[in-house]
């Protein structure tokens, strides 16, 4: 690690040809104005448009401070950030969206918090500029996350964040896959802070997240950080089992003291419910083990870099 770089800015890019020129125009002056040695790492996440050509041109224009990772395919925003994390040279790392929803002008506010001694600074969006559906879906997932994990943050969906290098290195070492970077960073942070940041409408184009991809992402958040879904299932199944066991006892008692009812159908139901419940507990238990195994197994490399544009450090 060359300690000469103070700041690494990490930006995932997926089909952002309409936003990149404006991003370059606004981002670089802010960074030049900081008076710190910096680098910007763009990850081209398998864009199908001209994004990579624009990144190549930007690398040619500012080769000393611009690095570009080119994925061979689309691996998702968090993998794109992860690939950059594995290559950062800076002592502080800032993540940012390419669509200008996170104004680059807010970066100094994040850095001020880092300079004040925090190791991880999360932005939360003031007056969020997203569809009502996205805003409410995000509140719901906030609610679920607060109850199933011990991660405390105002706005896990805001990608404008700053981390000290130690946190980023810990994220990389964790080898986490299918991950949710802000949550992972939080779990390694000893002294997190938050700042309110402006949120703008997407400068151009539409969100890359379809309903399905949003669900997948939030599944990563919940299953990646807790086994609560499995545990609730097992708990529920155990309650069913206990209930069914009582039912079997009652039906057996009636069978003995009152005699056969409805041709023994009730007794049969009692036994059946009990056996089904036992099966459910079994599935839940297997789930527990599969979940634990999954936690260990998922640490494998999941992206491929086709090309790197950078000046050797």
Question: Where do contacts with ligand UDP occur on this chain (CB under 6 A)?
Answer: 12-14, 16, 45, 74, 76-77, 80, 97-99, 101, 207-209
Q: How far is the CB of 90 from Mg ion (least distance, A)?
A: 24
Nearer to ligand UDP, 78 or 118 (CB): 78
Tokens of 3: 């300690």
Nearer to Mg ion, 131 or 150 (CB): 131
- Quick check: 118 and 192 in contact, CB under 8 A? yes
Nearer to Mg ion, 51 or 244 (CB): 51
Alpha-carbon distance of 152 to 290, in angstroms, equals 27
Q: How far is the CB of 301 from Mg ion (least distance, A)?
A: 27
Instruction: With both helix axes pointing from N to C terminus, report the angle between 165-174 and 77-85 in degrees, rounded to the nearest 10.
Output: 110
Q: How many residues bind Mg ion (CB under 5 A)?
A: 2
- Quick check: 123 and 38 in contact, CB under 8 A? no
Distance from the Cα of residue 194 to its chain's centroid: 17
Q: How far is the CB of 44 from Mg ion (least distance, A)?
A: 16
Closest of 313, 225, 306, 288 to residue 56, by C-alpha: 306
Tokens of 203: 């400068």
Tokens of 229: 């879904």
Q: How far is the CB of 59 from ligand UDP (least distance, A)?
A: 17
Scanning 25-33, 35-43, 98-106, 109-117 for contacts with Mg ion by CB under 5 A, the matching segment is 98-106
Which residues are CB-contacts of 249 (< 8 A; sequence separation ≥ 6)?
A: none
Q: Which ranges in the chain belong to alpha helices (H)?
A: 20-32, 51-61, 77-85, 107-115, 132-148, 165-174, 181-188, 211-225, 228-257, 265-297
Q: How far is the CB of 247 from ligand UDP (least distance, A)?
A: 48
Nearer to ligand UDP, 96 or 121 (CB): 96
Residue 304 CB: number of other CB atoms within 10 A?
A: 12
Angle 177-183-188 from CA coordinates, rounded to 5°: 90
Q: How far is the CB of 11 from Mg ion (least distance, A)?
A: 12
Nearer to ligand UDP, 71 or 273 (CB): 71
Length of the chain as a residue count:
313
What residue 13 binds from ligand UDP, Mg ion, none (CB within 5 to 8 A, per partner kind)?
ligand UDP
Q: Which of 16, 39, 45, 99 binds Mg ion (CB under 5 A)?
A: 99
Q: How far is the CB of 51 from ligand UDP (least distance, A)?
A: 8
Q: Which of 95, 101, 218, 241 binds Mg ion (CB under 5 A)?
A: 101
Give the phi and the psi of residue 121 in degrees, each rounded to 5. -125, 120
Alpha-carbon distance of 274 to 277, in angstroms, equals 5
What residue 194 binds from Mg ion, ligand UDP, none (CB within 5 to 8 A, per partner kind)?
none
Nearer to ligand UDP, 207 or 279 (CB): 207
Scanning 101-109, 242-250, 258-266, 275-283 for contacts with Mg ion by CB under 5 A, the matching segment is 101-109
Nearer to ligand UDP, 80 or 107 (CB): 80
What residue 76 binds from ligand UDP, Mg ion, none (CB within 5 to 8 A, per partner kind)?
ligand UDP
Nearer to Mg ion, 42 or 188 (CB): 42
Which residue carries 């197994």 as its tokens?
297
Q: Which residues bind Mg ion (CB under 5 A)?
A: 99, 101
């Amino acid at each position: 690690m060359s300690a000469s770089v103070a700041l690494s800015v990490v930006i995932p890019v997926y089909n952002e040809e309409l936003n990149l020129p404006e991003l370059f125009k606004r981002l670089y002056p802010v960074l030049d104005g900081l008076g710190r040695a910096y680098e910007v790492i763009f990850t081209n996440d398998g864009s199908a448009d001209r994004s990579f050509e624009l990144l190549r041109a930007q690398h040619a224009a500012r080769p000393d401070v611009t690095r570009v990772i080119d994925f061979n395919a689309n691996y998702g925003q968090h993998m794109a950030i992860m690939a950059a994390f594995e290559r950062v040279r800076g002592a502080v790392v800032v993540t940012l969206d390419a669509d200008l929803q996170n104004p680059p002008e807010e970066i100094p506010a994040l850095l001020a918090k880092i300079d004040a001694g925090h190791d991880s600074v999360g932005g939360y969006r003031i007056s969020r500029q997203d569809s009502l559906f996205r805003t409410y879906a995000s509140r719901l997932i906030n609610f679920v996350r607060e109850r199933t994990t011990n991660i405390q943050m105002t706005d896990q969906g805001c990608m404008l964040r700053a981390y000290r290098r130690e946190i980023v290195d810990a994220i990389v070492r964790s080898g986490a896959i299918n991950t949710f970077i802000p949550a992972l960073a939080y779990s390694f942070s000893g002294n997190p802070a938050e700042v309110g940041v402006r949120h703008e409408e997407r400068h151009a184009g539409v969100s890359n997240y379809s309903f399905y991809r949003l669900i997948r992402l939030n599944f990563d958040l919940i299953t990646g950080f807790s086994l609560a879904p499995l545990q609730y299932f097992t708990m529920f199944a155990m309650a069913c089992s206990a209930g069914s066991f009582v039912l079997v006892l009652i039906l057996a008692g009636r069978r003995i003291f009152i005699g056969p009812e409805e041709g023994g159908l009730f007794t049969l139901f009692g036994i059946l419910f009990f056996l089904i419940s036992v099966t459910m507990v079994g599935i839940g238990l297997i789930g527990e083990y599969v979940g634990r195994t999954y936690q260990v197994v998922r640490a494998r490399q999941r992206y491929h870099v086709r090309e790197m544009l950078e000046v050797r450090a």
